[in-house]
Structure 1
Amino acid sequence: MCSNHTLVRCNENHTLVRCNEKDRETLLTFKQGINDSFGMISTWSTEKDCCSWEGVHCDNITGRVIEIDLKGEPFDGVHDPVKVLKGEMNFCILELEFLSYLDLSFNEFDVISIPSIQNNITHSSNLFYLDLHPPTFTLHMDNLDWLSPHSSLKYLNLSWIDLHKETNWLQIVNSLPSLLELELSGCNLNNFPSVEYLNLPSLVTLSLSFNNFTSHIPDGFFNLTKDLTSLDLSYSNIHGEIPSSLLNLQNLRQLHLSNNQLQGSIPSTLGNLSSLISLSIGSNNFSGEISQFFFSKLSSLNHLDLSNSNFEFQFDLDWVPPFQLHTLSLNNITQGPNFPSWIYTQKSLQNLDISSAGISLVDRYKFSSLIERISFYIVLSNNSIAEDISNLTLNCSVLRLDHNNFTGGLPNLSPKPAIVDLSYNSFSRSIPHSWKNLSELRVMNLWNNKLSGELPLYISNWKELQDMNLGKNEFSGNIPVGMSQNLRVVILRANKFEGIIPRQLFNLSYLFHLDLAHNKLSGSLPHFVYNLTQMDTDHVDLWYDTTIDLFTKGQYYVCDVNPDRRTIDLSANHLTGEVPLELFRLVQVQSLNLSHNSFKGTIPKTIGGMKKMESLDLSNNKFFGEIPQSMALLNFLGVLNLSCNNFDGKIPTGTQLQSRDASSYIGNPKLCGAPLNNCTITEENPKTAMPSTENEDDESIKESLYLGMGVGFAAGFWGICGSLFLIRKWRHAYFRFIYGVGNRLYVTLMVKLNSFRRS
């Protein structure tokens, strides 16, 4: 047997081999700068042979390190990262003499360290596979000179590493004669260096997408290699026309030029690239006519993107293409009103996007058959299709039919969907029972339909659900208690929900947008420790490629789902009681609307800690007491409405409070101060108040007045009190007279006093 501590590899003759000491020291040096909070390389210790360390593979005979596979596993949008390395990526690891394979991709290093010895490597490098690309744009590298010793490289991936300072990237890559695949996507490259004397005869895959080339592609660029099979220049700001040299790449199978500034008409010879499997030329400035004859030789095509184009499509109604597509993108084209008939012939289609194409007419039978067999994504958004698809069962993972005129009940769904957006249609009835097993569902948007009935209890089965938007329908009954713990967006606005708000909603640690406004909810808010982590910490997980209808600052907005936008809206319900202090401790909330309820109590001073607040509406409730001075600390407050409550005292001094229109405070009879300007009590500063003869004179006048009034009252009382007590008419007239005289006397006295003070 092999020992677990010092010997880990056995060759075919069962000879035991040890890890090379020099390799072990190099690996430990690499480890020193790493932050391994996920325990990814926790096995890298002197107690174990380095050939048994996580991700390290040694030669069975020599014991030398030949492969290192430490590929990270970043977050998937729901869960935290499974394992990633952080800190320093030390290129000392490239000094391993027999290393042939190194994968450090999808980690979160923030700095690259290149030892000076790396530029003077004397041994012949065996490295043929090198992948360093991070999951996001976080790393910077000034030059690529360190690549020169590694002439045996066949695969090189530096995508998403900032290389904008390296102006000779192509010449350095040219020093790698064995290179088969080059991935430099998202490297912030901004120029095409001179292509003269360059030659990359082995290159078959080249990806330069997501860069910022503000120039034309050099005419001779595609003469660098004749065997190129995959070319990706999408999202790179490339200008001009398609170079003629590109049309000579007869082995090209994948051509991605989408989302650039290319212009002119499509060269007809592009249709001669008969090996093409994937063609993506959408989102450019191409124009002119494109007809079925362009595709006559493209029998192998299975991916086609012509989206966001100004082409004039000239296809016969009975045209049957020579290909069977897997993916088709025709969004944002001038197509309608008829759904393109040739798409019905695509029996292998698994991805279809023909949104914003002006389509209103479909062949009901063929259309139904088409969308039922698509298994990945269907995007038909922003058309005018008015069909009843309630009898269909859809099997796709992504379903976007929003902004159409679909009628009838909701379609049946298989358990596969992850994203379902059926908003802005005319769907009616209740949620079908077939939706019970949507175990993969993450986004559900049914906003603005005519759906009704109670929410089924089986929504507790949707464990992965993140965004739930059921607003502007006619749902009724109670809000279900059991819902996904992964919920980040909950919108039930403008329905007929009643009963109390389940306390579980305030225990969702990922929740950052809660909108229950305009329902019939009653009762008080639960008093317990709110576990709304996203609402009270700076931690932000992820943004999503979907939108929500956000009501804030008195207006509707359609915006991307983003945890930086944190909102709570419970307005226009029948909620009562005091607002729990915990709600005012959610310091990251930017929009809070509790208006049009029956909340009572005071505003706590802790509201001053909600310093990111942009919109606060507490109007039309029963709040009372003074407005806390701490509200003046809300420096980003753009909308404030405290009207129609029972607040009293003076509005605190502060730009954020005094600069409001008076409408922010009206309907609080006992509230005064700017901008209301109706305070009648003169405030006196006790520290500056000084005794004066003026005050003494005031007191003397008051004493004389009171004494005279007393004597007059006594004489009048005993003179006529008997008559008053006996004759009721006289008694009423007397008191009316005394009341009027008293009022006039008081007013005259106050005028005299004020005049006396001024003099």
Structure 2
Amino acid sequence: MRSCYLQFLLLLLELLSCNATKLGFSFDLRINSEVKCIEEERQALLQFKQHLVDPSPLSSWNSGEDCCKWEGIKCSNKTGHVVTLDLQGKQVEGEISSSLLELQYLTHLDLSSNNFFGKSFPNFVGSLAKLQHLDLSFTHIVGTIPQQLGNLSGLIYLDLSYNFDLMEAHDLDWLIHLQSLTHLDMTSVNLSQVLNWPNKVMMLPSLIYLSLSDCGLSTMTHQLRSSANSSSQLLLLNLSFNHLNCSIFHWLFNSSTSLVHLSLSYNLLQCSIPEAFGSINSLQTLDLGGNQLVGRSIPKSFGNLCALELFCLEDNNLSGNLYEFMSNVSGCLVDSLQFFEISSNRFTGPLPESIGNFSNLVNLGLGGNNFTGPLPESFGNLSNLEMLNVSGNSLTGVISEAHFSNLFKLKRLFLGLNSLILKFNYDWIPPFQLSVISLSSCRLGLAFPKWLQSQKHYAILEISNAGISDIIPAWFWDVPVELIDLDMSHNQLHGNLPDLSSSRFGYYVVIDLSSNQLNGSIPCFPSDVASLYLSNNSFSGNISFICEFTYQSLFLLDLSNNKLSGELPDCWMHVYGLINLNLANNNFYGKISHSMGSLVSLEFLHLSNNSFVGNLPSSLQNCSYLTTIDMGENNLSGMVPSWIGDSLPRLTILSLRSNGFYGSLPLNLCHLSNIQLLDLSLNKIGGTIPQCIKNLTSMSQKWRASHNGIYSVQRAYADHAPFVWKGRMAMFENSLGLVKIIDLSSNKLHGEVPEELTSLTELISLNLSRNNFTGSITLKIGLLQNLQSLDLSRNQLRGEIPTSISDISFLSYLDLSNNNLSGKIPTGTQLQSLNASAFMGNPELCGSPLPNKCPEDLYPICNDTRTCKNVDNQENVDDGLITQGFYVAMALGFVVGFWGVCCSLLLNLRYITMRLISNARMMLR
């Protein structure tokens, strides 16, 4: 993302080294043997040495020798006075002693790149009246900059950069006295309280070099008044990484027209790029990256900047295509431009063939846009190109050898995350040697790319998701010694891996072979591997190779989703630097090794879906950095250890689901104030939910960027966890920091659901189903306003559903079935849109969405007598057939009908009786 800024810094270093004598400095430290130093000054230097923690870097400073011969000291060849003290990068520590006040003839003082950590700015420096060069950069000094620096009227060079706890409290009033100053660097010094910084710095008539990067600067309109004494010879201006807005442009174009190097990167520029830049003909480097610049194209005026070598617009909101800009580029810019970076914008359309005319381009960054179509073959004309980045676009088509025919100097190639097809002859040998090969998601063909055999110096190889279906050839494992990142994941690579223990990988290499079809046992790897991703393959056998590690460099080991088996080795002390261990979804069995407690740096532990037995080893309480424990779906047993709450204060995810844990919930679990995912479901845990559950305070706080992932050397690792979500198993990964869940379902918990649960207001899922909870649902359930899933089914809850449940506006999954709930389901909420199954098994529950109506719905109760009478009268008016005569006729009809039925029954009874008597007589005969 910040490649432009790094290139900008390299150019600055080159500028400084080339122009040091022009700025009035000399770094010549040759010893003049004709004079000896002044005794008072020699004693002052020795006293300075005594204030150092470790004086060994100044071993040449011997009390019995001439101090003019000491390392870093230069004396006047006429007077013998010390004129230069240069200890740059000598790694001295301690205090800057005020004894240096004796060096009143000192003109050059450089203590940069040493450690005076926590010591205040040496105010006495302002009394060294003859100083011309003062460099205290990278010294870790703190406090405020003294106004006494304004006394150094002869100062030419001042560098206070990269002292992050140093601040300016005097509005830079001292600065305007330094009229001879040509070089000022205050990078990363806190200048946020300075109100009128633009005009203060431009009052320096001799200023050539100005860097105020990362100083907390902002711009206000009243700060930008014009100044008659403004500097007109400023060559370099670096204002990157501040809070500047577009008003800075007005000040810039009115203050200096001779700029050669300008960086305004990573500010708050939210406007289009001014055409006025085209009038600064002296510009060689322009870095506007990392802002929010908008516009449909690059201004036409830039086409006339004949001196421009570096042009950076990466990481903005620019759109349009490149045709208009390219068509307005003059021949001089075509010849001068060497670094062109517009990655991470919104440019569209095809890439113009005319890019191939920029024959002097060294770096070309077009990645992270929406360019379409093929990669023009004219790119093959860029014979000076060292870096080509078109990754992360929508490019299509075939890339052939013609695209690379003249790229003899190419070192870094980024083509990944496109739909490009690479087709080369089988025996093609590229004309370049690459250090970075990034081709992820390009189609490389079914066969393993043989042209890689010619590449001898790559440090990064990314060919993941490249459609390769082949065995990794033996020649490939003769990898370059520079290789530190190997990614061949998400292909169809198959076969066995050879013994790699003697392969010549680079130090702390990351190896990713995940999501392939590799099988056989896992071989030995180099002992200094940093990260090893082998998940989602078909590896089998044990993992005894871990015991072969002798270095402590392994940070990440992911063997999940394989066919590995056996008991875990008891040699985890060999890899005690592990931060992430994932063995989930295999066939491991036996007890969890006690030596796993040696992993004192462990943060993520995934052992789920195996066949582990026994208790959790108590040695795990030594792993105090743990944020994730996922041991679900095993055969573990015993009580949930109380030490989890006492010894693992950072724990964010705890999943022991689907095991055989029993006993009560330990009160110590309430100490897990950082817990966000608590899953103890499908066990045999009894007792009650403790009221102290309210102490799980992370579940009542808004999301914090905390544990969500780690950086495993070169690449980021996002943690993940499986949980029941809305009745189904789901895997949370990228959104894990937003998920806050409690699942205690399918246990033997009893008693009432504590009201204290409702204080966990950021919960999005609560599952207490399949237990023996009694009592009623708390009236405060509505406080859980972020709930999306609530399952209280299959308990013995009674009473009515609280109406406050209607306050939970995000609730999309609810299951209250199979309880003893009664009364009417609250109306006017999303509850009526749920399936009736959410309320089934509660015989006394009624109302929508259940089919059975509530009594008050059938016979509404009226509390207003007048309203009721009006309703009755209205009903009588509506039905004119219901009159007094109607009721008389209905009564007479009932009497006649009743006796008619009775007479019929009596006649039938007499007939039946006579038949029975007749049949009886016949039988007697």
* Superposed pair shares fold, TM > 0.5: yes
Question: What residue number does 1:576 align with?
Answer: 750
Q: CA deviation at 1:181?
A: 5.6
Provide TM-score, normalisation by structure 1: 0.74
SS at match of 2:469: coil
Q: CA deviation at 1:503?
A: 5.2
Q: CA deviation at 1:346?
A: 0.7
The whole-number CA distance in structure 2 between the counterparts of 1:234 and 1:355 is: 22
The whole-number CA distance in structure 2 between the counterparts of 1:606 and 1:504 is: 25
Question: What residue number does 1:273 align with?
Answer: 407
2:864 matched to 1:688? yes
Preserved CA contact (<8 Å) 1:521 1:575:
yes
2:319 to 178, 183, 189: 189
Question: What residue number does 1:554 align with?
Answer: 727
Aligned partner of 2:699: which letter? M
Question: What residue number does 2:766 align with?
Answer: 592
Preserved CA contact (<8 Å) 2:554 2:577:
no
What is the total number of aligned residue pairs between the two structures?
651
Q: CA deviation at 1:616?
A: 0.8
Q: Identity over the aligned pairs, expressed in percent? A: 27
Question: What residue number does 1:339 align with?
Answer: 472
Q: CA deviation at 1:161?
A: 1.8
**Please, which moves more after superposition, 62-71 or 596-605?**
62-71
Query: Looking at CA atoms only, which structure, 1 or 2, has the larger radius of gyration?
Result: 2
Question: What residue number does 2:632 align with?
Answer: 471
1:45 to 169, 178, 182: 169
Distance 1:659 1:322, change over 3 A: closer
Q: CA deviation at 1:361?
A: 0.6
2:212 matched to 1:70? no
The whole-number CA distance in structure 2 between the counterparts of 1:256 and 1:86 is: 32
Aligned partner of 1:632: which letter? S
Question: What residue number does 2:150 align with?
Answer: 18
Aligned partner of 2:680: which letter? L
Distance 1:388 1:115, change over 3 A: closer
Provide TM-score, normalisation by structure 2: 0.62
Distance 1:420 1:505, change over 3 A: farther
The whole-number CA distance in structure 2 between the counterparts of 1:452 and 1:93 is: 72
CA deviation string 1:704-733 (max 9, x = no partner): xxxxxxxxxxxxxxxxxxxxxxxxxxxxxx
SS at match of 1:596: coil
Question: What residue number does 2:137 align with?
Answer: none
The whole-number CA distance in structure 2 between the counterparts of 1:48 and 1:159 is: 28
**Please, which moves more after superposition, 617-626 or 382-391?**
382-391
Aligned partner of 2:325: which letter? S
The whole-number CA distance in structure 2 between the counterparts of 1:577 and 1:180 is: 71
Preserved CA contact (<8 Å) 1:304 1:327:
yes
Alignment of 1:125-164 (within 5 A): 125=258, 128-133=261-266, 140-145=270-275, 147=277, 154-164=284-294
Q: CA deviation at 1:633?
A: 1.7
Question: What residue number does 2:816 align with?
Answer: 642
Question: What residue number does 1:620 align with?
Answer: 794
Distance 1:301 1:14, change over 3 A: closer
Preserved CA contact (<8 Å) 2:681 2:747:
yes
Distance 1:515 1:260, change over 3 A: same
The whole-number CA distance in structure 1 between the counterparts of 2:425 and 2:622 is: 48
The whole-number CA distance in structure 1 between the counterparts of 2:167 and 2:833 is: 62
Preserved CA contact (<8 Å) 1:159 1:187:
no
1:492 to 614, 637, 656: 656
2:298 to 158, 163, 168: 168
Q: CA deviation at 1:47?
A: 8.4
1:524 to 676, 684, 688: 688
The whole-number CA distance in structure 2 between the counterparts of 1:290 and 1:344 is: 22
Aligned partner of 1:553: which letter? K
Alignment of 1:367-386 (within 5 A): 375-386=508-519
Preserved CA contact (<8 Å) 1:641 1:664:
yes
The whole-number CA distance in structure 2 between the counterparts of 1:472 and 1:59 is: 73
2:347 matched to 1:213? yes
Preserved CA contact (<8 Å) 1:179 1:200:
no
The whole-number CA distance in structure 2 between the counterparts of 1:455 and 1:390 is: 29
The whole-number CA distance in structure 2 between the counterparts of 1:371 and 1:685 is: 87
SS at match of 1:663: helix
The whole-number CA distance in structure 2 between the counterparts of 1:310 and 1:354 is: 13
Aligned partner of 1:218: which letter? P
Distance 1:206 1:552, change over 3 A: same
Question: What residue number does 2:847 align with?
Answer: 673
Question: What residue number does 1:283 align with?
Answer: 417
Question: What residue number does 1:715 align with?
Answer: none
Distance 1:540 1:344, change over 3 A: same
The whole-number CA distance in structure 2 between the counterparts of 1:567 and 1:156 is: 50
CA deviation string 1:180-211 (max 9, x = no partner): 36252344433213323331544433322222
SS at match of 1:592: strand
SS at match of 2:758: helix
The whole-number CA distance in structure 2 between the counterparts of 1:235 and 1:378 is: 25
The whole-number CA distance in structure 2 between the counterparts of 1:150 and 1:453 is: 75
In structure 1, runs of 5+ residues without a counterpart are 22-38, 52-57, 73-82, 694-759
Distance 1:691 1:48, change over 3 A: closer
Distance 1:89 1:524, change over 3 A: farther
Q: CA deviation at 1:642?
A: 0.9
2:562 to 419, 425, 430: 425
Question: What residue number does 1:729 align with?
Answer: none
The whole-number CA distance in structure 1 between the counterparts of 2:677 and 2:704 is: 13
Aligned partner of 1:616: which letter? L
The whole-number CA distance in structure 1 between the counterparts of 2:667 and 2:174 is: 52
Q: CA deviation at 1:257?
A: 2.0
The whole-number CA distance in structure 1 between the counterparts of 2:780 and 2:302 is: 60
CA deviation string 1:236-258 (max 9, x = no partner): 22222323442222222222222
SS at match of 2:496: coil
Aligned partner of 2:633: which letter? K
Question: RMSD of the alignment, in Å?
Answer: 4.3
Question: What residue number does 2:835 align with?
Answer: 661
Alignment of 1:166-565 (within 5 A): 167-169=297-299, 171-172=301-302, 175=305, 177-180=307-310, 182-192=312-322, 193-195=324-326, 196-198=328-330, 199=333, 201-224=335-358, 226-269=359-402, 270=404, 272-287=406-421, 289-291=423-425, 293-298=427-432, 300-312=433-445, 320-348=453-481, 349-366=483-500, 375-389=508-522, 395-410=528-543, 412=546, 415-428=552-565, 429-430=567-568, 432=570, 433-434=572-573, 436-438=576-578, 441-452=602-613, 454-462=615-623, 464-477=625-638, 478-479=640-641, 481=644, 484-501=648-665, 506-528=670-692, 530-541=694-705, 544=709, 546=718, 547-562=720-735, 563-565=737-739
CA deviation string 1:513-555 (max 9, x = no partner): 3333323444433322645454323344276563443421122
The whole-number CA distance in structure 2 between the counterparts of 1:263 and 1:507 is: 55
The whole-number CA distance in structure 1 between the counterparts of 2:844 and 2:686 is: 28
The whole-number CA distance in structure 2 between the counterparts of 1:363 and 1:452 is: 31
**Please, which moves more after superposition, 148-157 or 637-646?**
148-157
Q: CA deviation at 1:648?
A: 2.9
2:698 matched to 1:566? no
Distance 1:277 1:47, change over 3 A: closer
Question: What residue number does 1:737 align with?
Answer: none
The whole-number CA distance in structure 1 between the counterparts of 2:693 and 2:389 is: 52
Distance 1:139 1:467, change over 3 A: farther
Alignment of 1:697-736 (within 5 A): none
SS at match of 2:379: helix
Preserved CA contact (<8 Å) 1:271 1:295:
no
Q: CA deviation at 1:344?
A: 0.9
CA deviation string 1:274-321 (max 9, x = no partner): 3222222233232363355444433x3222122212232556889843
The whole-number CA distance in structure 2 between the counterparts of 1:602 and 1:311 is: 63
